[in-house]
Chains A and B, each alone.
Chain A
Amino acid sequence: MADIETHDFDVVVIGAGGAGLRAAIEAKERGLRVALVCKSLLGKAHTVMAEGGAAAAMGNVWPEDNWQVHFRDTMRGGKMLNNWRMAQLHAQEAPDRIYELERWGALFDRTADGRILQRDFGGHRYARLAHVGDRTGLELIRTLQQRAVALGIEVFMECKILRLLTDANGQVSAAVGYWRASGEFVCFLAKAFVLATGSVGKAWKYTSNSWESTGDGHAMALWAGADMIDMECVQFHPTGMVWPLSVRGILVTEGVRGDGGVLRNAEGRRFMFDYIPAMFAAETADTEAEADRWYDDHLNNRRPPELLPRDEVARSINAEVKGGRGSPHGGVFLDIASRRPAEYIRRRLPSMYHQFKELAGVDITAEPMEVGPTCHYIMGGIRVDADSAATTVPGLFAAGEVAAGLHGANRLGGNSLSDLLVFGRRAGMGAADYAEGRTGTPTVGDAEVRTVVADAEAPFHREGGESPYDVHHALQETMQNLVGIIRTGPELEQALVELQALQERTEKVSVTGGRCYNPAWNLATDLPSMLAVSNLVARGALERRESRGGHTRDDFPDPDPELGKVNMVQRLGPDGEYTITPEPLPEMPPELRALLEEDAH
């Protein structure tokens, strides 16, 4: 490749959120040559938005807590679609990963005896989330960022990767992308690659995700031949802002409910008591009095229904609004003002206080918030080996949100930050092992690189085409309206028709101006990823004829025990067509299965 900038590394990590940083740190500590490539500036990745905390059964607040309980909570929250081995590793290793952050300089909130304080969150039996007020993600990313800097990891900021290329043996050998600042193309050769590219939320209209969450890693893995699983399992977080319209979708942390906030409808009723599913009835309070006692006494009372797993709460809010009992702007009320002192709210939830004060003109210490579901997280993603984070493509590893399995059909709050740490590290180990064992120098064909470059440049050479912004907005309407929180077969069929039309429109977009920091062009290069992900989600949703976790079918409202035993596996066929096959979940060992059958309370 004489004509484009080329770099050579042992391990290249794509994405610099929590998982990418943790992977890069691990590989670097092994003494390898490591590059960290990210679409934004270092320290701005979506991890920074995580608010509530990182779940780890350290037992600092409730000594009764342990990895077995965390494992059980994670599996049940995921409606048993989880990869059991990932759930086990996650529950076992999360405490070590939190203590490791402390050794790297993180300052978590403390208990009275000086340990790391833990907070309550939905679906967790005990207060389990290590946190820093409601800005835990910032603490996590800054700690990892500073560690990565201290180790001297090379960071390539504002660099968008377009494609992964494989060598003659099918091993991933190169990643081709461009610098956003200059628009110049760049090629990274490496012995192993880690995808840690986060989410897909920008395909929906109302989302808590930033512009970066366009599913680049999901799409690149698919195009490189990887298996994708359970892409239909998308989490709509129950509490996003709904007003003003311009901030609709911005996250309101579950910590508000963990710290005592309750949901009310327009009639003032705590409606979550009306939506307690059978699966959680044994461990959920059925009176307000019991629910209120639980905050101080977990052992003798059951959890408030506001702290049911996110899928349950989001569906309930949706039903209240549809039933005509919503708030003025189409959400419900989240009230902590009437339940906790103003000083407590400002101390525990400082960034929520500012967010509402400054963006909505609402004082959350004096009045309720208006909230509603927002597209937040995708449980589905790249199929990985639990221990090594290896994908089904040689030389390619994945961790964090882009990887699938840990969370099953629904993720518990707080399990994401711990996921990033546990599996970020494992992906770094897996990639390092692979790089050390790989013989020969990674190579890539000139022609393939040139094709990637030509495809990316094409929008500049087309005249009179549509604006990429228009196509993006149309895609968001389609996904919001037809592949949203409640789905039906006919609507999903319609979505696939519209996605086909959007594919054709994407192939005709044109952009003007130069290549230097041109957001229209950047969006044009993000559109193919978003379309691929949208296709995977819609196809998975159509095939999974049941309701489970984050996937709800109005025409199949109940879980189907048979479908609960399979992953929906999607991959590209020989002619680039989408294929989907149900494949059995990995078999859980009996001793772990026994943990799930223990009495809930």
Chain B
Amino acid sequence: MSEITMRIWRGDSAGGAFADYVVPAVEGEVVLDVVHRIQAGPAPDLACRWNCKAGKCGSCSAEINGVPRLMCMTRMDALPTDSPVVLAPMRTFPVIRDLVTDVSFNYAMARQVPPFTPRPPDASDGTYRMQQIDIERGQEFRKCIECFMCQDVCHVIRDHEENKAHYAGPRMFIRYMELESHPLDVNDRRELLRQRMGLGMCNITKCCTEVCPEHIKITDNAIIPLKERVVDSSYDPVAWLGRAILRRTKRSAAEAAADAPAHRNPTREDVGAGVPDA
């Protein structure tokens, strides 16, 4: 029977090192299966997250041979067998232990999003009418399983911890674009995106799009259109004139931010999950 070598990073916030585990190869397995066999055998305390094991929950993100992927959807027979399979935690987030990282940054950013604000129902029965074609862009973004791999590969924060305080990242940009394109939403988050969410810092290298397991066209369908809308709202003379004539002002970043839950009611996730404030 052939064997495979898994080279897995073991450690915590204080540091760590790669350890090799040699296990028999089994037909049809994915990387997560092998991790589970290692847990059941030589390393019972090997930490990793997982839930659905079917690519639907986005829990088991890791860097496999240097590339962020879901462990549950990466077949062993798709990886080179002549060298060890290298498993490391996502680099952009602080390590908790082994393959588990502290992803609370993403939850904190989610709390900065001014929530969905629907217009009143239009149909006589008190519900809404929407055409399929008008919701398909939003549905594309709502496929997001929050694996946070787009955040992991984003250059703006991958090696720049200092940017995290004012950069929402690709996952949140698709959330903003989802709300922007939602047929019912009436909120205006453009100035917030420009001034506080760091939309301008993205230089559209499309790394996020490349790693998305749901094949969401993050850059082309979310970030670039968002940039256009934000620029239009700031610099387009026609839009400016329209606002002047209609005496309607854009919502400022501060006004939009005031709607966000993080500004009203900071919670545990803003300070980091799993770090109890004893």
Contacts and interface: CB of A to CB of B under 8 A. Distances in A.
B135 to A, nearest CB: 5
Given A110-B132, A149-B111, A181-B96, A244 B28 contact: yes
B124 interface: no
Interface stretch (A42-50, A61-69, A280-288, A578-586): A42-50
A431 interface: no
A48 B96 contact: no
Contacts of A133: 139
A513 B45 contact: yes
A155 interface: yes
A212 B127 CA distance: 36
A518 to B, nearest CB: 5
Interface in A467-521: 467-470, 473, 511-514, 516-521
A274 B70 CA distance: 42
A475 B127 CA distance: 49
Contacts of A514: 45
Counting chain B CB atoms within 10 Å of each CB, the highest count among A109, A513, A516, A517 belongs to A517
Contacts of B264: 152
A344 interface: no
A150 interface: yes
A358 B52 contact: no
A354 B110 CA distance: 28
B275 interface: yes
Contacts of A107: 130, 135, 138-139, 142, 182
A149 B49 contact: no
B269 A155 contact: yes
A527 interface: no
B1 to A, nearest CB: 15
Interface residues of B, number: 69
Counting chain B CB atoms within 10 Å of each CB, the highest count among A211, A358, A521 belongs to A358
Nearest to A150: B115
Nearest to B58: A44
16 contacts: A40-B51, A43-B57, A44-B146, A107-B135, A110-B135, A114-B131, A137-B56, A138-B142, A139-B142, A149-B110, A152-B265, A469-B44, A512-B44, A513-B44, A519-B45, A519-B47
Given A246-B29, A351-B55, A516-B47, 9 more contacts: A48-B145, A49-B57, A104-B116, A135-B143, A142-B144, A179-B274, A247-B54, A360-B28, A517-B100
Interface of A: 5, 40-46, 48-49, 99, 102-105, 107, 109-110, 113-115, 132-133, 135, 137-139, 142, 146-147, 149-158, 179-182, 184, 186, 210-212, 243-247, 250-251, 351, 354-355, 358-360, 467-470, 473, 511-514, 516-521
By Cβ-Cβ distance, the 8 closest A-B pairs, closest first, are A244-B28, A181-B274, A152-B265, A513-B45, A114-B129, A520-B44, A150-B115, A105-B116
